[in-house]
Amino acid sequence: MKVKDNINVYPHIMPSMKDWPITRFSEERDAFIERLIKFTMDRLMRSAHSVEDLLDKSIYLERQRVKNNPWSVDPGDEKLYWKSLVKELDEAKQAEDPALAQQKLLRRIVHRYSEEIIGFFIPKTFNFSRKFLTAFFKRLFNNGWGRGHRGIWGSKKDLQKKIIVDGYVDELRELFNHGTVVIVPTHYSNLDSIMIGYGIDSNVGVPAFSYGAGLNLYDYEVLAYFMNRLGAYRVDRRKKNPIYLETLKSMASLSLIEGLNHIFFPGGTRSRSGAIEDKLKLGLLNSVIDAQRYCIVNDINQKIYVVPLTVGYHFVLEAGSLIDQHLRQAGREKYQRGSSKTSWFRVILRFIRSLRRNDSEVYLSFGQPMDVLGNYVDRKGVSMDDREVEISIEKYFSKEDVPNVDSQRESVYTRILADKIVHSFKRENIILSSHLCAYVAFTMLRQENPELDLFELIRISTESFEIDYEDFESRCSKTFEDLKAIQEYDVKFSAIFSKSMKEVIHDGVKNLGLYHYKDPLKWASESSLCCEDFKLLYYYHNKLIHYDLGSVD
């Protein structure tokens, strides 16, 4: 199946930001925090641990975090705060009513965490970001060469042509009328959050979503300023104590229950290898199921929909550091990181020159919407079984026709949902010319050196590797045919694949080297290709490994 360059720009389903759910939540932030504190406290009081145990463990872990892993973004009173709680907890244990005193202390901690986690959404800041990101992405994805100074930035219309939207877009837009929408994307780059946010606003025409941002990103003042005002909520992955984890999970669940649309990155972090995620973090997904069950048990008419999104780039700016982290973790002592002699001045100069000369595209491929159990839904949000017969999900959260809580049952549902999301990622993935070229080139490198393992392979001299173009074209054509023949997925290709393989290869080689100082693949002559960085070539090769293509002979 070939994908058309869909440059349709959908009108906004809610033109006024005043009507957006995220605006309402920001305006009612203080009231929501009070509801969140009560919601979290109820859950903590029903947990298997006593309040005293929760406080003892959390205070201990927080003091260890402050001592061993402090960040500049931490509150100035962090160390003194947790130290003072040791004394307060001792006093609470000796109080006339220890249980009440400890509950008050627990509530204070939950309140502190709630204030830390929940951000704001300011429409004026969002409007400014629209303009700023339009300028930024126009320069990143559009070719300014030959236009003169006025044309260096391109136009917004040119940019919208570079954001190619595919898949179940109409269904996604319609679901806003029927419940809460959770988009679950693949995650490759630090650009993902803003790229997805910009794309769904500019091209898809739906309201802004809330999304999680690592607290470490708030170290950068400019970035922190905007994230604080654009609907992001803060996630501190250092905090492993039960009070923080429950507050974070409760925030996700309660906001979904109350109708706030979210973007969850189910992989938890960027794909270090470059491959599509196949092992998802079940905690975030469990909060989606938890929220839906809460609505059913409490007779709240709110259905939650999950929409997978596969993001496709020709280039990932931080690919070099990501693949280095992956190889270091996978190879341990086998992986020897070479020292870089490249000056930052040359890297920056190359990047600026590339901005001027090159253009590229980003692909947003929306999967078929599903309910929290992984059943596909129609445009009205009605769940369907495999025979396309309407089903009610209430019975899946009930025992003897009475809605109930069953954590073991819901952990099974979470794994089912994760599997369905991964399958959608692979099915909706759009194969780009650069991915095909990288896959074939690295496979040829492996076949030329069958005696070497991966870590030995990436250390050989790049000067010893040269690819004959005719052989390369033949192998690319065969791999293309193999992909089309895959039965499990109706494989999608970018529009360039409707042209000759020679044009596909030229497009792929051009885009594969975009913005990297060393080219993963480049022309050595008119009849041959070479590589300047085997690690980068391996990273982009991994975009197709989930298809299990085997040999390209």
- 115-129 per-position pLDDT tens digit: 999 999 999 999 999
Look at residue 85 and tell me whether its pLDDT is greater than 80. Answer: yes
Whether the CB-CB separation of 61 and 240 falls below 8 Å is answered with yes
Q: Using pLDDT thresholds of 50, 70 and 90, give the confidence band for residue 501.
A: very high
Q: Using pLDDT thresholds of 50, 70 and 90, give the confidence band for residue 460.
A: very high
Average pLDDT, the chain: 89
Q: Residue with structure tokens 């190889």?
A: 327
Q: Using pLDDT thresholds of 50, 70 and 90, give the confidence band for residue 149.
A: very low
The percent of residues above 90 in pLDDT, for the chain, comes to 71
The confidence score (pLDDT) of residue 221 equals 79
Whether the CB-CB separation of 427 and 276 falls below 8 Å is answered with no
Q: Rounded distance, CA 434 to CA 401, Å?
A: 53
The confidence score (pLDDT) of residue 147 equals 46
Nearest one of 364, 264, 278, 270 to 306, comparing CA atoms: 264
- 163-194 per-position pLDDT tens digit: 899 999 999 999 999 999 999 999 998 888 88
The confidence score (pLDDT) of residue 35 equals 98
The confidence score (pLDDT) of residue 216 equals 80
Q: What is the rounded average pLDDT of the residues 80-107?
A: 96
- 47-84 per-position pLDDT tens digit: 888 999 999 999 999 999 999 999 999 999 999 999 99
Report CA torsion sign: 99, 101, 107, 110: negative
Q: What is the rounded average pLDDT of the residues 337-350?
A: 52
Beta strand ranges found along 206-361 (DSSP E): 210-214, 232-235, 262-263, 304-313
Report CA torsion sign: 93, 98, 102, 104: negative
**DSSP assigned state of 545:** G
Q: How many other C-beta atoms lie within 10 A of the C-beta of residue 421?
A: 25
Q: How many other C-beta atoms lie within 10 A of the C-beta of residue 77?
A: 10
The confidence score (pLDDT) of residue 146 equals 44
List of residues 6+ apart from 11 with CB closer than 8 A: 205
pTM: 0.91
- 512-537 per-position pLDDT tens digit: 877 788 899 999 999 999 999 999 99
Q: What is the rounded average pLDDT of the residues 350-371?
A: 74
The confidence score (pLDDT) of residue 400 equals 87
List of residues 6+ apart from 144 with CB closer than 8 A: 151, 152, 153, 154, 355, 356, 357
Q: What is the rounded average pLDDT of the residues 466-470?
A: 96
Do β-strands 398-399 and 402-403 pair in parallel, antiparallel, or remain unpaired? antiparallel
Whether the CB-CB separation of 483 and 547 falls below 8 Å is answered with yes
Look at residue 346 and tell me whether its pLDDT is greater than 60. Answer: no
Lowest mean pLDDT among 38-52, 156-170, 328-342: 328-342
Q: Using pLDDT thresholds of 50, 70 and 90, give the confidence band for residue 132.
A: confident
Q: What is the rounded average pLDDT of the residues 266-277?
A: 92
Q: Rounded distance, CA 90 to CA 522, Å?
A: 67
Whether the CB-CB separation of 249 and 233 falls below 8 Å is answered with no
Q: How many other C-beta atoms lie within 10 A of the C-beta of residue 10?
A: 16
Q: What is the rounded average pLDDT of the residues 422-449?
A: 95
Q: How many other C-beta atoms lie within 10 A of the C-beta of residue 152?
A: 16
Whether the CB-CB separation of 321 and 521 falls below 8 Å is answered with no
Start-end of H helices in 302-451? 319-331, 344-357, 407-428, 433-448
The confidence score (pLDDT) of residue 355 equals 45
The confidence score (pLDDT) of residue 361 equals 84
Percentage helix, strand, coil, to 5, in the chain? 55, 10, 35
The percent of residues above 70 in pLDDT, for the chain, comes to 91
- 187-232 per-position pLDDT tens digit: 998 888 888 999 999 999 999 999 988 888 787 777 788 888 999 9
